[in-house]
Amino acid sequence: MSKNKLSFAGASILATLVAMVGAVHGQDVKTDRGEQLYAKNCEACHHVGENIIRPEKTMDRSLKISSKAAFKRFLSRQNGLMPPYLTIVRSDKDLSALYSYVKKLPDLKLTPQSQAAH
Ligand code: HEC
């Protein structure tokens, strides 16, 4: 009896985790355009503004995002192992949406959910 209850709890925790992973990778769950673009193009290497390839080059407090113009210049060319993002750069709407999202990253980092991941 209690064993069944336990595996039920396990199953619902698993379902929650699957839903969370889906929210990170799926595009349809998110409504914020900048967040969608970030999840699709940047999140894999820059989970909440960090850098999995060059850990010392975190991006959430980078000078490259000190202004939208600097951000645009940065995304327009190859930077080490980071590819250029010309499709985003060509759309001012997408660039602005992504820019305002990356500016929010330092605050998003402080949410309990992302802290639990560390
Ligand atoms: C394939 C992995 C990868 C992806 C995907 C990626 N980046 Fe990067 N990013 C890097 C690497 C590696 C660097 C360090 C570049 C270098 O060597 O100078 C970097 C550096 C940066 C920096 C500058 C950090 C500094 O040096 O001050 C910013 C800002 C940045 N990325 C933003 C983004 C954004 C926005 C996206 C999505 C549009 C993105 N990155 C997608 C790998 C990636």
pLDDT single digits (tens) 26-60? 545 678 999 999 999 999 999 989 999 999 999 98
The answer to whether 79 touches 89, Cβ cutoff 8 Å, is: no
- Which residue's C-alpha comes closest to atom 22 of ligand 1? 59
84 Cβ contact partners less than 8 Å away, ≥ 6 residues apart:
75, 76, 77, 78
Which of 11-20, 63-72, 74-83 shows the lowest per-residue confidence on average (mean pLDDT)?
11-20
| Ligand 1 centroid to residue 15 C-alpha, Å | 32
C-alpha to C-alpha distances, 92 to 20, 47, 64, 96, 106, nearest whole angstrom: 30, 24, 17, 6, 23
Q: Which atom of ligand 1 is nearest to the CA of 85?
A: 38
Q: Candidates 35, 73, 79: which one to mutate for ligand 1, based on the most atoms within 8 Å of Cβ? A: 79
Which of 35, 77, 88, 82 lies closest to 57, judged by CA? 82
What's the pLDDT score for residue 22? 57
pLDDT surpassing 60 at residue 65:
yes
Fold exhibited by the domain 31-116: Cytochrome Bc1 Complex; Chain D, domain 2 (1.10.760)
What's the pLDDT score for residue 11? 66
pLDDT surpassing 90 at residue 16:
no
| Ligand 1 centroid to residue 42 C-alpha, Å | 8
Across 62-83, average pLDDT? 96
74-111: per-residue pLDDT in tens?
999 999 999 999 999 999 999 999 999 999 998 887 76
Which of 66, 59, 91 lies closest to 76, judged by CA? 91
What's the pLDDT score for residue 31? 84
What's the pLDDT score for residue 5? 65
Q: Which atom of ligand 1 is nearest to the CA of 38?
A: 37
